[in-house]
């Protein structure tokens, strides 16, 4: 796998401002400028894969090929034990074309009424692809419980209903620095950093 040492610019292959902001925060110590797919006018490829890894690689490979720069794509979602892992790879789609996660959280609350199992985990597949098509994907998970009603206005997506194990604040209530220390994206990023900035 190629090293990121010496790389100064990288494409965040996402049109989700929240994800791009987290990627910027996590790469800032490594002095890499993050350029979003939206800034470059790149189309959002359709997520046709059945797995988080497949969708992340699809997005990163497309952005790297068009931009000529290394590209990083994240595919992540919430897997609910009482719903047999749903919404999973369809997490964003539950929010509809308008990306209304208040609606998605309401749908989730309605669907989980028939089960007492509130366990859930976030999954993040982080794919780094190069213009030559070479890719490597790093996986991270964060486990916790669902809580209703939603709590907090920080973060994005399903963060206000996710209470991580061992904590009394939802991701939506946490300061970004605290969330970045334990999130599924942070776990995947640590694996990427260890692999791509190792001596």
Contact of 3 with 196, CB cutoff 8 Å = yes
Q: Does residue 38 sit in helix, strand or coil? A: coil
Q: Is the peptide bond before 128 cis (omega within 30 degrees of 0)?
A: no
Q: What angle do CA 31, 37, 43 make, to 5 degrees?
A: 165
For the question of residue 75 being annotated catalytic, the response is yes
Task: Check 25, 43, 74, 75 and give the catalytic one.
Answer: 75
Strand residue runs (E) in the chain: 9-12, 33-36, 71-80, 119-129, 135-146, 162-164
Q: Which residue matches tokens 């309605």? A: 110
Q: How far apart are CA 37 and CA 73, in angstroms?
A: 10
- Catalytic residues, which ones? 75
């Amino acid at each position: 796998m190629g090293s990121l040492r010496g790389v100064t610019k990288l494409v965040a292959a996402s049109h989700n401002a929240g994800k791009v902001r987290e990627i910027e925060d996590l790469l800032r110590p490594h002095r890499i400028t993050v350029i979003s797919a939206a800034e470059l006018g790149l189309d959002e490829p359709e997520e046709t894969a059945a797995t988080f890894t497949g969708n992340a690689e699809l997005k990163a490979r497309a952005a790297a090929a068009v931009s000529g720069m290394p590209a990083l794509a994240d595919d992540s979602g919430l897997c609910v034990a009482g719903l047999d892992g749903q919404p999973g790879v369809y997490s964003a789609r539950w929010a509809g074309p308008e990306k209304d996660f208040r609606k998605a959280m309401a749908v989730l609350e309605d669907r989980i009424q028939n089960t007492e199992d509130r366990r859930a985990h976030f999954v993040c597949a982080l794919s780094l692809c190069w213009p030559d098509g070479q890719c490597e994907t790093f996986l991270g998970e964060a486990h916790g419980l669902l809580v209703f009603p939603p709590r907090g206005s920080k973060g994005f997506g399903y963060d206000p209903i996710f209470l991580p194990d061992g904590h009394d604040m939802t991701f939506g209530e946490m300061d970004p620095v605290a969330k970045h220390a334990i999130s599924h994206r942070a776990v995947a990023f640590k694996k990427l950093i260890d692999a791509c900035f190792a001596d």
